[in-house]
Amino acid sequence: MKALRPTSILAAALMLLATSASAQLSLTPPPPNPFPKPIEPEKPKPKPKSDPKPPAAEKDKAKKPAADKAGAAKPGGAPTAEDAANLDDPNVDLVYGAYQRGFYKTAFEIAIKRAQEQNDPKAMTMLGELYANALGVKRDYNKAVEWYRRAADLGDREAMFSLAMARMAGRGGAASREEAAKWLASSAKLGEPKAAYNLALLYLDGQTFPQDIKRAAELLRVAADAGNSEAQYALATFYKEGTGVEKNLDQAVRLLQSAALAGNVPAQVEYAIALYNGTGTVKNEPAAVAMLRKAARANNPIAQNRLAHVLLNGQGAPRDPVEAIKWHLVAKTAGKGDLTLDEAQAQLSAEDRAKAQDAARKWVGTK
């Protein structure tokens, strides 16, 4: 039985190894990465590209948006007459609807009307987003912060979070960790998971608040329970190491699984290793290799390195030295060298080395 060593965020020497009487595959963990990274407000998706102009013969067909059986325009169309009729109805979120469809100028026009006439905090928050991201208006961090602050004063938790991150980064004014911490705490208290996560970081670094690992763990739990994959991954590390919580490997693996399924690539690597070793979960080498492949294709060099070792040894997947060396070479471009795999590469035939090198070049060129 061969076991993979996991990566670690807080300690480079953390190992999740399945004990066995047989030889183990030796993989050196990478140096610890800065832990963890703050979560910024989500960036809006770019406006969908408009379709090319239809030929003259098809202009009439293109004039009206396609409608479903109920007669409503399909999502993605321009605002309708019914939308205009609902402009003053606070229960109809036309602002967000226009924003989601990429009609940023329309979103701005509706939001400014609601903000000025109805004192609507959600509309104010949207104005902050539009100004901060140059959507439908020229980027203006000062105006973004002004609208975030007005919405935050009215109790909008998303505005509080965005305002906190702006103050932290010094956008729209001088940076102020103290003010940022105040707004993060207010937003987290109202249940904003990204605020809880970032507030946990402040308790971890001990610069804004006295360091309090247990409080950080509590805040990470709030964000993790709300489905935040970054918090789930961070809290999993806490449980693996017994940091701020009682050490619990089973709980760590459950959190890793949740984060991995949500698409968190570092968590996918850790969860794959747990599956491969049968550590904190039922051993499942094929599933582990499948997840390593997924993370490797997401250009995680640790996953690429671990996958290379698996393919070289043929445990959990058919042995494939050429594919193994391909992933080794790809990982090396990201600084993840490996002397064992260098030796394996040297032992390949000239033909197989050339195949691996060509495959690696193609991957690096298209990633």
Q: Is residue 14 part of a domain?
A: no
> Does 181 map to a domain?
yes
- What number of other Cβ atoms are within 10 A of residue 341's Cβ? 21
Domain end (from 147, 175, 190): 190
Q: What is the mean pLDDT of residues 284-308?
A: 95
Give the helix, strand, coil percentages of the chain, each rounded to 5. Answer: 60, 0, 40
Interatomic CA distance for residues 195 and 199, integer angstroms: 6
What is the value of pTM for the model shown?
0.74
Per-residue model confidence (pLDDT) at position 103: 94
Strand partners, 73: 67
Residues with Cβ < 8 Å from 138, sequence gap 6 or more?
Answer: none
Cα separation, 145 vs 225, whole angstroms: 29
pLDDT at 71 over 70: no
In a domain, 151, yes or no: yes
pLDDT of residue 93: 75
Inform me whether the pLDDT recorded for 48 exceeds 60. Answer: no
pLDDT of amino acid 95: 85
The predicted model gives 69-76 an average pLDDT of 36
Q: Which of 59-68, 97-106, 131-140, 240-249 has the lowest mean pLDDT?
A: 59-68
Q: Is 231 exposed, middle or buried (0-12, 13-18, 19+ CB in 10 A)?
A: buried
Looking at residues 343-353, what average pLDDT do you find? 96
Number of domains in the chain: 2
What is the phi/psi pair of residue 29, to 5°? -65, 150
Cβ proximity of 311 and 317 under 8 Å = yes
Alpha helices in 190-284 (DSSP H): 193-205, 213-225, 229-241, 249-261, 265-277
Domain range for 116 is: 78-190
- Tell me the pLDDT tens digit for each residue of 183-207: 999 999 999 999 999 999 999 988 8
Which is more confident, 29 or 127? Answer: 127
Identity at 56, one-letter amino acid code? A
Res 292 pLDDT > 50? yes
Q: How many CB atoms lie within 10 A of CB 84?
A: 11
pLDDT at 163 over 60: yes
Spatial distance between the Cα atoms of 153 and 149, rounded to a whole number of angstroms: 6
Q: Span 258-281, mean pLDDT?
A: 94
Separation between Cα atoms, residue 191 and residue 205, nearest integer Å: 22
Residue 367 lies in a domain: yes
Average pLDDT, the chain: 81
pLDDT of residue 133: 95
Residue 83: name the closest of 63, 66, 103 by CA: 103
Of the candidates 190, 214, 249, which is a domain's last residue?
190
pLDDT (tens digit per residue) in 205-220: 888 999 999 999 999 9
Q: Does 343 reside within a domain?
A: yes
Q: Is 70 helix (H, G, I), strand (E, B) or coil?
A: coil
pLDDT digits (tens, 9 = 90+) for 169-181: 999 999 999 999 9
Domain-embedded: residue 236: no
CATH of residue 114's domain is 1.25.40.10
pLDDT band at 340 (very low <50, low <70, confident <90, very high): very high
Q: In the listed set 164, 190, 216, which residue is the last one of a domain according to the structure?
A: 190
- Nearest C-alpha neighbor of 35 from the set 272, 204, 288: 204
pLDDT of residue 4: 55
pLDDT above 60: residue 289: yes
- Residue 94: the pLDDT is 86
Confidence of residue 41 (pLDDT cuts 50, 70, 90): low
Average pLDDT over residues 7-28: 33
Mark 191-204 as b/e (b = at least 16 C-beta within 10 Å). Answer: ebbbbbbbbbbbbb
Crossing angle of helices 213-225/229-241, nearest 10°?
140
- Whether the CB-CB separation of 276 and 4 falls below 8 Å is answered with yes
Please indicate, yes or no, if residue 201 is contained in any of the structural domains: no
In a domain, 221, yes or no: no
In whole angstroms, what is the distance from residue 266 CA to residue 109 CA? 41
User: Residue 228 in 3-state DSSP?
Assistant: coil
Tens digits of residue pLDDT in 74-112: 334 444 444 444 445 554 578 889 999 999 999 999 999
C-alpha–C-alpha distance, residues 198 and 331, integer Å: 30
For 160-207, the DSSP string reads: HHHHHHHHHHTTTSS--HHHHHHHHHHHHHTT-HHHHHHHHHHHHH-S
